[in-house]
Structure 1
Amino acid sequence: MKYILILSCFLLFSCSNKIPFDKAKWNVKEDVFYDYREFMIDDLLSKKIIIGKNIQELEDLFGKLEVLEEENNKIIVQNIVTDFGFDIDPIKTVNLVIYLNENDVAIKTELVKWEK
């Protein structure tokens, strides 16, 4: 019985939803939801894969991107999570924002969370 309890605790605490970044899985989308991004974001940010890459290198990493201009900054926004709850309008979003310098090179990343 003691060994079953120890094994159960080990399995419970060793299981994690975090997975390594994978370009193919990053873009897997079902309806309006990305299936894997939420589980890859920690790996992506902890390895600092994004900083220092130009737009072409970022597109090689993520696929086709749209560069936006916001308050004199060039940014790229990648949706990580959108939670609709039981409504048609989102109640929570998490987006990865990539800031670019004047040479279109990534200089900063930020996870922006919004809740209704």
Structure 2
Amino acid sequence: MKKQIVAALLLIVCFACKQESDNSEKKSDVKTEQHMAFDKVKWGVKNDAAYAYRDKMLYDLIENRKVRQLKKEEIVALLGEPDRTDSLFLFYTILQKRMFLFPLHTKSMVIKLKENDSVEWIKMHE
């Protein structure tokens, strides 16, 4: 009887470990589907009040060294007019969840400029 219980527990542990490795493979597939390279045309695509592709392109823009070397006017030419500006900051709306007219959650890309209009940093803000 003890051997059967031990065998059953061992079998359960083996199946549990297999399921965990299957899930980690699925998570890595999802991660690659969640990111995409920056595309100027897709960046501007807007369905209703939401941008369709910006959330997927955000990582590429934040990590892109070429974008960090641009001046303000070049950034605006590439990304379009920012949704909001504040002295040396450019704000681009990435994602916004709303309840009726009220925003519940907003994800933005913030670009801080230096006095000479070059990029100091690019960050994501939620």
TM-superposition CA deviations, 1:12-31 (whole Å, max 9, x none): 34242211110100010112
Distance 1:81 1:67 in 2: 14
Matches for 1:58-69 after TM superposition, within 5 Å: 58-65=75-82, 68-69=85-86
**Which one has a larger percent helix, Structure 1 or Structure 2?**
2
Instruction: Tell me, in whole angstroms, the C-alpha distance in 2 between the residues paired with 1:92 and 1:32.
Output: 14
Judge conservation of contact 1:65–1:76 (CA < 8 Å) in 2: yes
Q: Using the TM superposition, give the Cα deviation of residue 57 of structure 1 relative to its aligned residue in structure 2, in angstroms.
A: 1.3
Name the Cα RMSD after superposition: 2.4
Between the two structures, name the one with larger relative contact order (CA 8 Å, sep ≥ 6).
1
**1:107: Cα distance to partner?**
1.1
Aligned twin of 2:39: 22
What SS is found at the alignment partner of 1:20? Answer: coil
Cα offset, 1:67, TM superposition:
6.9
CA distance in 2: counterparts of 1:76 and 1:30, whole angstroms: 22
- Matched residue pairs, number? 103
Distance 1:79 1:90 in 2: 12
User: 5+ residue gaps in structure 1?
Assistant: 1-7
In structure 2, the CA distance between the partners of 1:82 and 1:11, relative to structure 1 (3 Å rule), is same
* Equivalent-residue separation in structure 2 for 1:51 and 1:83 (angstroms): 28
Counterpart of 1:27, as a letter, is G
Q: Specify whether residues 56 and 98 from structure 1 end up closer, same or farther in structure 2 by C-alpha distance, changes over 3 A only.
A: same
Q: Which has the larger radius of gyration?
A: 2
Q: Is 2:112–2:121's contact at 8 Å kept on the other side of the alignment?
A: yes
Verify: 1:47 aligned to 2:61, yes or no. Answer: no
Is 1:76–2:90 an aligned residue pair? yes
Partner Cα distance (2:64, 2:41) in 1: 18
Aligned sequence identity (%): 25
| TM value normalised by structure 2 | 0.69
Counterparts in 2 of 1:10 and 1:102: CA distance versus 1, 3 Å:
closer
Structure 2: distance between partners of 1:66 and 1:77: 6
Q: Distance in 2 between matches of 1:25 and 1:63?
A: 12
